Amino acid sequence: MRVLLVGSGGREHAMAETLAKSPALSALFIAPGNPGTARCGVNVPIGAHDVAALVTFAREQDIDLVVPGPEAPLVAGLADACALAGLPCAGPTQAAAQLEGSKSFTKEICDAAGIPTAAWERFTDSAAAIAYVRRKGAPIVVKADGLAAGKGVVVAATVAEAEAAITDMMTTNTLGDAGHSVVIEECLVGEEVSLFAFCAGETACLIGAAQDHKRIGDGDTGPNTGGMGAVSPPKGFGRAEQEAALDLLVRPMLREMVRRGTPFRGVIFAGLMLTSQGPSLIEYNVRFGDPEAEALLPRLTSDLLPALHALAEDRLDVAPITFSNQASVCVVMAARGYPGTPEKGAVIHGVDTANALEGVRVFQAGTTQDMAGNLEVSGGRVLAVCALADTVQEAQRRAYAGVKTITWDGAVWRTDIGNRAL
């Protein structure tokens, strides 16, 4: 099969490596890709947002399957454009992608389907939002309604912090259009986990679970990020618990989407809070998580490509998705200044050395190559250093051994990824 993978981050590098192992693969193109994906296939200089150019390229290259990595092209209608062009695409329609594109849409679906989730209100006026927060008190959660690259959620410990978040999103426009409306919801307490499933119509097939670490600093301190590391599987959330969560939080959503005439097809990523009252939905994402994919996919023992191809044809009659019993720990190395304004341009050393360590894989995200072939920092989250082992403790040791071999001026990372799973 000739495959076009869309995206340029660590998730796409992990997906590219996984797809490259498939006996069914004849050619792999990545648009736009990064220096890491270039080792798995052919990078194509087309941005992930350029839906028209992606479709044109896919037609010219006789692509058999388009595999979206990030959410933005799906929300922009990539799957719809592929359908019009007769191209199979392993992702949801624009209408179904609203599960991620709009926080308030997801909340409405949850309410209609009886899915446990935090109590919420939507606001388009900052004064009304601030008045609501003052009435409800803190802790409280402020979310940009639209896409914000994983940075549109503020868990406010104080009313003042919530007010500042509302002002930033709605008045200062720090998140652009994404923050013109906000969803404010009660703060759920518990362990947060990420659940993944292949979905088509009313059918969901469990992939697995991981636990992200969103805040920049050790001990879950500092601002939220796109994710500073992940562990798979999460402690105390095994296959039986994952299946039960699918029954409670995913399959009712699928039925409601079918009822509305906008059936979901693709990878669903459900962010859950394991509360004292049971699992509660935080949000849906319509693709693999990042960095969860980097932790999850190395554990995969079955072939990813046939599963994605089946999804693109609105079916799930494929061999079961299987994973090793090994643990995986993924540590994100970021650029100084992230999640604000990351410092770019520093030369990165030691990636090949880390990749040579037992059980270690380094997935590239915010990287580029200069004319001399040097690897340079070009984004906030730069590398995901991942390791497999028989225990979480050993996977953690291996991942941090990999981190220690990699250097650049301004590298930052958390030192406690995996501790909660020990």
- Phi, psi values for residue 23, rounded to 5°: -65, -20
Q: Which structure tokens are listed for 184? A: 């404010």
- pLDDT for residue 150: 64
- Give the domain extent around 128: 119-186
174 and 195: one domain? no
Q: How far apart are CA 284 and CA 272, in angstroms?
A: 9
pLDDT digits (tens, 9 = 90+) for 66-111: 999 999 999 999 999 999 999 999 999 999 999 998 899 999 999 9
- pLDDT for residue 172: 83
Question: CA 11, 330, 30 angle in degrees (round to 5)?
Answer: 20
pLDDT digits (tens, 9 = 90+) for 230-241: 999 999 999 999
202 and 290: one domain? yes
Q: Per the structure, how many domains does the chain have?
A: 4
175 and 195: one domain? no
3-state helix, strand, coil in the chain (%, to 5): 35, 30, 40
pLDDT digits (tens, 9 = 90+) for 8-54: 999 999 999 999 999 999 999 999 999 999 999 999 999 999 999 99
Residue 180 lies in a domain: yes
Residue 391 has pLDDT above 80, yes or no: yes
| Bond from prior residue into 234 cis (ω within 30 degrees of 0) | no
Residue 343 has pLDDT above 80, yes or no: yes
258 and 346: one domain? no
267 and 241: one domain? yes
Among 89, 105, 136, which residue terminates a domain? 89
Give 45's DSSP letter.
Answer: -
Of 106, 67, 58, residue with least CA distance to 89: 67
173 and 197: one domain? no
Residue 62 has pLDDT above 90, yes or no: yes
Residue 256 lies in a domain: yes
357 and 386: one domain? yes
Burial (CB count <10 Å: 0-12, 13-18, 19+), residue 187: middle
- pLDDT for residue 190: 93
Among 271, 287, 312, which residue terminates a domain? 312
Residue 100 lies in a domain: no
Instruction: Kindly give the residue spans of alpha helices, DSSP state H, lying in 187-290.
Output: 239-245, 251-259
- pLDDT for residue 98: 94
pLDDT digits (tens, 9 = 90+) for 167-210: 989 888 877 887 788 999 999 999 999 999 999 999 999 999 99
pLDDT digits (tens, 9 = 90+) for 280-315: 999 999 999 999 999 999 999 999 999 999 999 988
Give 94's DSSP letter.
Answer: T
Residue 113 lies in a domain: no
Q: How many CA atoms lie within 13 A of 343 on its CB side?
A: 12
Q: How far apart are CA 41 and CA 316, in angstroms?
A: 27
User: Percentage of the chain with pLDDT > 90?
Assistant: 90
Grouping H, G, I as helix, E, B as strand and the rest as coil, residue 55 is helix
Q: Which structure tokens are listed for 314? A: 């609105």
Residue 347 has pLDDT above 70, yes or no: yes
- pLDDT for residue 145: 85
Residue 319 lies in a domain: no
Q: How far apart are CA 403 and CA 353, in angstroms?
A: 10
Q: How far apart are CA 268 and CA 205, in angstroms?
A: 10
Q: How far apart are CA 86 and CA 79, in angstroms?
A: 10
Q: Which CATH number do you get for residue 414? A: 3.90.600.10
182 and 204: one domain? no
* 1: amino acid identity, one letter: M
Of 19, 133, 110, residue with least CA distance to 65: 19
Beta strand spans in 178-247 (E): 182-186, 191-200, 203-212, 215-217, 221-224, 229-232
306 and 335: one domain? no
Burial (CB count <10 Å: 0-12, 13-18, 19+), residue 101: buried
Q: Which CATH number do you get for residue 280? A: 3.30.470.20
282 and 237: one domain? yes
Residue 110 lies in a domain: no
Among 162, 186, 210, which residue terminates a domain? 186
Average pLDDT, the chain: 94
Mean pLDDT for 334-350 is 96
Q: How confident is the model at residue 148 (pLDDT cuts 50, 70, 90)?
A: confident
Q: Which structure tokens are listed for 354? A: 């880390």
Mean pLDDT for 151-159 is 88
Residue 417 has pLDDT above 80, yes or no: yes
Q: Are the C-beta atoms of 388 and 411 separated by less than 8 Å? A: no
- pLDDT for residue 146: 80
Residue 59 lies in a domain: yes
Cα 9 from chain centroid (whole Å)? 10
341 and 300: one domain? no
How many helices (H) and strands (E) the chain has is answered by: 14, 21
Of 43, 12, 14, residue with least CA distance to 28: 43
Q: Which CATH number do you get for residue 26? A: 3.40.50.20
204 and 173: one domain? no
Burial 208-238 (b: 16+ CB within 10 A, else e): bbbbbbbbbeeebeeebbbbbbbbbbbeebe
Residue 101 lies in a domain: no
Q: Which CATH number do you get for residue 167? A: 3.30.1490.20
- pLDDT for residue 180: 85
